[in-house]
Amino acid sequence: MQSLGIDVLFKGTNFIRLLGGLWVAVRISLISVALSILLGLVVGVLMTSRSKILRALFRIYLEIVRIMPQMVLLFVVYFGTTRVFGWNLAAETSAVIVFTFWGVAEMGDLVRGALISIPKIQYESAEALGLVPTQTYRYVILPQTVRRLIPLSINLVTRMIKTTSLVMMIGIVEVLKVAQQIIEANRRVSPNAAFGVFAVVFLLYFLICWPIGRLAAYLEKRWA
């Protein structure tokens, strides 16, 4: 039986290149998550606002994000903005825009959920103990909200990392694209490389997302 192409990975700098590709994917998701958390906190608070119009607007925004595949959004931003506005966005910038657009909606909804899940009695008890509103938020409400939010936002990180695999479709050279290049370059010497290389990519994604997911599950249980 012919080799299954694991050896191809250890030729030259192939494995380092693969990890470099993975880093591109992780970098895009980390930047997007950071932006999503910051903006999502604001959007989440606005989602609990008393203004019906504001709530309806954010509701529509959330539904659009929930329904449209991220791939479609990537295409619309990357190819559409060039045509309509004449912008020449770099692929990576488009990816960050799309993932942030998606992340802010998801994060906002999580913040909204966490805020309304704090029972009214918490506010009332704080007031009965003589805390002023800022103190109530700082010492009572925020610590509880953050505890509920952290595991959920960690889950969002893994979802983003998994979704970044789509960015190869708009020409970003991330881990899958590097894998394809390695396979193509070694087609003659190792025709079966596709098996080994794609299996390794599969495992790499698993090795990144699984521990993060476990951490989220652990925190969720511990802080519940």
Q: Which two tokens stand for residue 148?
A: 């509920």
Cα distance between the two ends of the chain? 52
Kindly state the smallest distance separating residue 60's Cβ from another protein, in Å: 12
Closest to 169 measured CA to CA, from 96, 75, 90, 94: 75
- 3-state DSSP helix/strand/coil % of the chain, to nearest 5: 85, 0, 15
Total chain residues near another protein (CB under 8 A): 41
A 10 A CB-CB count for 78 gives 22
- Choose which of 76, 131, 141, 185 interacts with another protein (CB under 8 A): 76
- Measured CA to CA, the distance from residue 175 to residue 147 in angstroms comes to 33
Tokens standing for residue 23: 């880093």
How far apart (Å, rounded) are the C-alpha atoms in residues 210 and 200? 15
Q: How far is the CB of 175 from another protein (least distance, A)?
A: 9
Minimum CB–partner distance for residue 132 and another protein (Å): 36
Among 15, 61, 123, 195, binds another protein (CB under 8 A): 195
| Secondary structure (3-state) at 190 | coil
Give 147 or 162: the residue with its C-beta nearer to another protein. Answer: 162
The residue within the footprint of another protein, chosen from 105, 126, 205, 216 (CB under 8 A), is 205
Residues written for the chain: 224
Site for another protein in 79-98 (CB under 8 A): 79-80, 82-84
- Of 85-93, 106-114, 119-127, 192-200, the segment contacting another protein by CB under 8 A is 192-200
Q: Is 191 helix (H, G, I), strand (E, B) or coil?
A: coil
Per CB under 8 A, contacts with another protein among 121-160 are: 158
Does the protein bind another protein through residue 165 (CB under 8 A)? yes
Radius of gyration of the chain (CA): 22
Site string for another protein, 27-66 (x = CB under 8 A): ------------------------------------x--x
Candidate list 94, 136, 145, 163; residue touching another protein; CB under 8 A: 163
**Tokens coding 20:** 């470099």
Among 11, 56, 69, 138, which residue sits at the site for another protein (rule: CB under 8 A)? 69
Taking the CB of residue 90, how many other CB atoms lie within 10 A of it?
12
Which stretches of the chain bind another protein, using CB under 8 A? Answer: 4-5, 63, 66-72, 75-76, 79-80, 82-84, 158, 162-163, 165-166, 168-169, 176, 179, 183, 191-192, 194-195, 197-199, 201-202, 205-206, 209-210, 213
